[in-house]
Amino acid sequence: MRRAVCPGSFDPVTNGHLDIVGRASRLFDEVIVVVTINQSKNSLFTVEERIDMLRQVTASYDNVRVESFRGLLVDFCRAQQATVLVKGLRAVSDFDYELQMAHMNIGLAGVETLFMPTNPLYSFLSSSLVKDVAKWGGDVSPHVPDVVREALNLRLDPSVRG
C-alpha cells in the first residue's frame, strides 16, 4: 500500500491545504493528514478542534484519515508505515525551509518528501493570513470551508458574528 503523510498545524485548515490533500489522495492509496503538535506555537484552535474540522472537510475522501502527533514526524511515519511526506509549496521561500527538512527526514528515516506546488489560486494563502483577516471582520469565505469560517467567527468575536 502506498501511504503518505500530509503534516501541518492546520490552525485553521484552508482551501489551499485541502487542495494539496485532495491531489495527494489521487496519488496514494492512503493519505494521513497529521496535525503536528507544537507547544511553541500559540494556536487559535485546540488540537481536538483542528482534528474535528479536518475530519469534517475531508470526509468526502475515502482514503484520507486525520490524526495528531507530537514528536519527530519521521517517527510517526515509521509507526504508520508511510514512506512519503507531501508538502505544499507556495513560493520559493517555502522551498528553502522545506528542503532542509526533507534532507533531514531522508537522513533520519529514509522518508521521502514530495513537494507539490500550490494551485495558483492559493499561492498567497496561509492560516496566519486567514486568522488576521477574520480577526478584523474580513470575509474569509473564499479561502476556507464553511465549517472553518463559522468556527473562526465564533472564536474571534462571538458577540458580533454568528
Which residues are known binding-site members? 9-10, 17, 41, 73, 87-90, 98, 122-128
Confirm whether 131 is a catalytic residue.
no
Is 93 among the catalytic positions?
no
Verify whether residue 143 is a known catalytic residue.
no
Q: Which three cell numbers stand for residue 124?
A: 498567497
Which of the following is catalytic: 2, 41, 55, 103?
Answer: 41
Q: From CA 8, how far away is CA 50, in angstroms rounded?
A: 11
Closest CA to 13 of 155, 136, 145: 145
For the record, the C-alpha cell of 157 comes out as 468575536
**Cα–Cα dist 33/6, whole Å:** 5
**Residue ranges of the binding site for ATP:** 9-10, 17, 88-90, 98, 122-128
67 membership: H or E segment, kind and range: strand 64-69
Query: Catalytic residue at 135?
Result: no
Angle (deg, nearest 10), helices 146-156 and 127-135:
50
Q: Which residues are annotated as a binding site for substrate?
A: 9, 41, 73, 87
Catalytic residue among 3, 23, 65, 90: 90
Q: Is 3 helix (H, G, I), strand (E, B) or coil?
A: strand
- Tell me which of 25, 50, 127, 131 is the catalytic residue: 127
Catalytic site residues?
17, 41, 90, 127
